[in-house]
Structure 1
Amino acid sequence: MKVFVISIPSSTERRQHVTESLSNKDINFEFIDAVNGKDGKHPLLKRYDRDHYIINRGREAKPGELGCYASHFLAWEKACELNEPIVVLEDDLSVQEDFKKIITDCEQWIIEKGFIRIEPWRTKLFITTDKVRNSSLCYLFKIPQCTTGYIISPQCAQAFIKSSQTFKMPVDLFLRHTYLHLQPIYGVTPPAVKTGNAISIIGNRTQRVRTPVIAIKRGIYRASTFIAVALVNLWMFIKT
C-alpha cells in the first residue's frame, strides 16, 4: 500500500524528522500538503459549521483543528482517486520497527474492514477478531481520539467524505461518532506508529462559550450521541 504523510510545507523540521524516520525503515512515501487553517484560504475551510461546533465542543474551532480536518479530507480524496487502500500518517510520529510487517498483515483485512488504526489505544472496550503472525485485529467499541496513523479503503474514504459536508467537530471526534458515517473502526496491535513529542500546532483548546442555552444543548447532545454511538457500534459489530 502507498504511504502518505500529511504535513504543512512550511513545517521543515517536522518534514525532515518524518523523512528520516521513514527512510531509515526503508519506507517509501509521499507528502500530502496539509491545509494551514490559520491562513483561512483553502476552500475546504468554508465547511466550518460554527453553531454546531460550539454545541459539540462548547467552544469555537481552532484554525488548526479545521486545517487538520481538511487535510485528512484530502487524504480520503487521495484514496478515492487511486481507488485503493492507503496508509495515512501525520508528520509527528515515531515509526516502530515492525512497521512494514504490520502494514503487510493489515493488507488482507483492509478492503473488508475499511478503517484500521495503526497507533496505540488505551480503551478496554475492544474485541480481538482476527490474528495473523504477530498482528491482532481488534474491533473498537470505544474509538480513541488522535489520528496519527491509519489505513483506509476507498469505500470508507468515500463514506467519510459524504458525511463531511460540514465540519462540526475535530476530525478524530468525527471518526469516533460512528453514527455519522456508519463505518466500523478497527485497530491493530502491536502498533505500527506512535505519536511523537512535537508541540501541537493546533494551540490551546480550553476557552469555552458559556451560556445556559449552550449548556443545555450540549447536555442533550452528549447524552444522545453517547446512546447513538453505542447502539451503532454494537449493530455494526453484530453485522460483521
Structure 2
Amino acid sequence: MRSVVISLARMEERRTQIADQFGAQGLDFDFLDAFDARQDAHIPVSRYDEAASLARYGAPLKPAEIACYASHYAAWQLCRESGEPLAIFEDDVVLHRGFAEVLQLAASRIERHRLIRLFGKHARKTRDLEQLTSGYRLVRFLHGPIGTQCYCLSPDGAAALLAHADRWSEPVDHYLDRFWLHGLASKAILPYRLEEMDRAKIEGAIGERRQRRRGKAKFRREWTRQTDLAARWLYNLRHWPR
C-alpha cells in the first residue's frame, strides 16, 4: 500500500521531521503537496459552499480548513484514479514504535473494509470486529473520532467519498465521520501507534475551530447536531457491527 504525506511545500522543517520518522520505521512514502491557503492555491479547485456551511454550522469555514479539504480531496482522487489503496498522512504526526506492523495489518484488510483509520482525536464507543496479531484489534466506531491525521483508503472507498463531496460545507474530518452519508463505516486498528503533534507548537496549524454563536447561528448548529445524531443512530441500528 502506497503512503502519501499531505504537506505544504514551504514547510521544510516539518517535511524533514516526517521523512526521518518514516526512514526510522523502514517505510517509503511520497509527499503530496497541500494547497496553501496563504497563497489562495485552493480557490481554483474549491467546492466550498459558504451558504451551506452557514446553514449547517452558523459559521463559515476558515481558508485553511477549505485548503485542508482540497488537499484530502486530491488524495482521494489520486487513490481512485491509481486503482491502488492509499495510506494518507498529514505531516503533523509522530510515529511510534511498531507503527509499521499496524500499517501492514491495515494494508492486508483495506480492500475489504475500504476505510481504516490509524488515528482519531477522541475516544469513542467501539465494537470489536477482529482480533489481530500482537494485541491489536480492528474495531468500528459508533461515533466518528474526528481527525484526518492518518487513514487508509481503498479505491472503492475513495470513490464513495468523492461521490458525496460535491459541496464542502464542513471540515473534512467532520465529513469523514458522517458515515451515514457516504457509507464508509468508521473503522480503526487499536491501539494507535501514532499521535498528533502539539498543535500549539505547529506553524500553520488550523487552530481552534469553536466560534461563539448566538441567535439563528446557534440554532442552526444545534439543529445540525441533532439531525446528525438521529442519522448516526439510524445507520448504526441498520448496520450494527457483527
Same fold (TM over 0.5): yes
- Report how far residue 153 of structure 1 moved: 0.7
- Residues 216 and 13 of structure 1: is their aligned pair in 2 closer, same or farther, counting only changes over 3 Å? same
Q: Which runs of 5+ in 1 are unaligned?
A: none
3-state DSSP class of the match of 1:32? strand
- Greater mean deviation of Cα atoms: 115-124 or 105-114: 115-124
Give TM-score scaled by structure 2 length.
0.91
Aligned to 1:217: 220
Aligned to 2:71: 71
- Report how far residue 204 of structure 1 moved: 4.3
Aligned to 1:164: 165
Distance 1:133 1:183 in 2: 24
Distance 1:54 1:13 in 2: 36
Q: Would you say how many aligned residue pairs link Structure 1 and Structure 2?
A: 237
Q: CA offsets, 1:172-192, max 9 Å, x none?
A: 100112222111110101223
Distance 1:64 1:7 in 2: 13
Aligned to 1:189: 190
- Residues 69 and 218 of structure 1: is their aligned pair in 2 closer, same or farther, counting only changes over 3 Å? same
Q: CA offsets, 1:46-102, max 9 Å, x none?
A: x11112212333321111111111111111111112212111100001012111111
- Greater mean deviation of Cα atoms: 104-113 or 24-33: 104-113
Which amino acid is 1:179 matched to? W
Could you tell me whether the CA contact under 8 Å between 1:2 and 1:87 is conserved in 2? yes
Which amino acid is 2:86 matched to? I
Could you tell me whether the CA contact under 8 Å between 1:178 and 1:233 is conserved in 2? no
Q: Of residues 178, 201, 204 in structure 1, which corresponds to 2:205?
A: 201
Which amino acid is 1:214 matched to? A
- Report how far residue 237 of structure 1 moved: 3.2
- Report how far residue 229 of structure 1 moved: 1.6
3-state DSSP class of the match of 1:166? coil
3-state DSSP class of the match of 1:150? strand
Aligned to 1:99: 99
- Report how far residue 26 of structure 1 moved: 1.3
Give TM-score scaled by structure 1 length.
0.91
Could you tell me whether the CA contact under 8 Å between 1:136 and 1:188 is conserved in 2? yes
Q: Which runs of 4+ in 1 moved over 6 A?
A: none
3-state DSSP class of the match of 1:138? strand
3-state DSSP class of the match of 2:108? helix
- Report how far residue 44 of structure 1 moved: 2.2
Which amino acid is 2:178 matched to? H
- Residues 11 and 224 of structure 1: is their aligned pair in 2 closer, same or farther, counting only changes over 3 Å? same
Aligned residues: CA RMSD: 1.8
- Residues 131 and 174 of structure 1: is their aligned pair in 2 closer, same or farther, counting only changes over 3 Å? same
1:16-165 to structure 2, matched below 5 A, reads 16-42=16-42, 43-45=44-46, 47-120=47-120, 122-134=122-134, 135-165=136-166
Is 1:230 aligned with 2:233? yes
- Residues 123 and 231 of structure 1: is their aligned pair in 2 closer, same or farther, counting only changes over 3 Å? farther
Which amino acid is 1:89 matched to? F
Could you tell me whether the CA contact under 8 Å between 2:120 and 2:148 is conserved in 1? no
- Residues 60 and 208 of structure 1: is their aligned pair in 2 closer, same or farther, counting only changes over 3 Å? farther
1:169-180 to structure 2, matched below 5 A, reads 169-180=170-181
Which amino acid is 2:238 matched to? W
Distance 1:31 1:125 in 2: 33
- Report how far residue 201 of structure 1 moved: 2.1
Query: Identity over the aligned pairs, expressed in percent?
Result: 27
3-state DSSP class of the match of 1:112? helix
